[in-house]
Amino acid sequence: MSPIASSSIDSLTRLFAAHKARSLRLRTQPLSERKRLLKDFEKYFAAQRTRIQQAVFADFGKPATEVDMSEVYPVLAELRHTLANIDEWAAPE
């Protein structure tokens, strides 16, 4: 394996480990904090809509409307669905 490939794998392994550790820490956060993070991400993602459209067009030639329908709106819909249901999902059984 080349040094670059090995370095890339090591970097991805560290990144995945950090992401997993963060995920485990978030489970102990109050629900209000997790909801705030989701709302913040929703706002950030929506604000990046034009940049997402431009990037997908540059990479794949996909028109902005199609990017909205296949990339942007599904993510926003999932975030909103999660925010609408998280209280019920997090309630003790």
Q: What is the pLDDT along the chain (93 residues), one digit of tens a residue?
A: 566 677 888 899 999 999 999 999 988 899 999 999 999 999 999 999 999 999 999 999 999 999 999 999 999 999 999 999 999 999 988
Task: Say what the pLDDT of residue 27 is.
Answer: 85
Cβ pair 46, 90 in contact under 8 A:
no
**Can you give the residue range of the structural domain that contains 8?**
3-90
At 77, list the tokens.
């819909």
Task: Say what the pLDDT of residue 3 is.
Answer: 66
Cβ pair 67, 53 in contact under 8 A:
yes
Cβ pair 67, 52 in contact under 8 A:
yes
Task: Say what the pLDDT of residue 93 is.
Answer: 84
Q: How many domains does the chain have?
A: 1
Task: Say what the pLDDT of residue 74 is.
Answer: 98
